[in-house]
Amino acid sequence: MKFKSFHDRSLIMGTILAAQSLQGWMKTNLKNTSGLSFLGSLILISLYFEENKKGISPSRLAQTLGYSKSRVSQEISFLNNEGYVRRNLSNSSARSIFVCLTSAGERKSSDLIKGFSRLQSLIDRVVGERQAESINKHLLLLRDHLEIA
C-alpha cells in the first residue's frame, strides 16, 4: 500500500502521530493524577520555574505556552478557584494583573514536575537522551519556521 510507505517514512506523519499519543497520554495521566488539564499543569509549572514572586502576566503565559489569552484566562480562573494561584494587581497600573503560585500551587507544581520527569525519562530510555535533545531542537526549529511562513 502506497500510504503505508508514506506513513512509515514521513516525518510529518511520525511527528503528528507521536504528538497525538503524547498529548493523549498527558491529558489522561494529568487528569487522573492531578485533576488538572494539560494547560493548567503547564501554567503551574511555568509559574514554578519563573520564581518571580511578583508573578507573570496572563498575556506572557499565553504567548509562552502558545494558547489564546482567553483560554489561559479561563484556566487561571479555575486554578484560582482551586487555590493554586492568586492574582495580584500591578503597583503601576490597576489594569495589569500578575499571577503567582500559592503554597498549595507550589506543592502541586512539584508533583507535576515529577510526572513530567517520569515521562521524559521514558522518552530518554526509548529514544536516547542525546537523540531526544536533538529531535526537540529540530522540532522547535521547524515550529519557528512554520510560524514565519
End-to-end CA distance of the chain: 32
For 77-103, how does the pLDDT look when each residue is reduced to its tens digit (9 = 90+)? Answer: 999 999 999 998 877 666 788 999 999
Answer yes or no: is pLDDT of 105 > 90: yes
Q: What residue ranges in the chain does DSSP mark as E strands?
A: 85-89, 97-101
For 21-60, how does the pLDDT look when each residue is reduced to its tens digit (9 = 90+)? Answer: 888 888 887 777 888 988 999 999 999 998 777 789 999 9
Q: Hey, where are the domains in the chain?
A: 37-148
Q: How far is CA 81 from the centre of its chain?
A: 20
CATH code linked to domain 37-148: 1.10.10.10
- pTM assigned to the model: 0.79
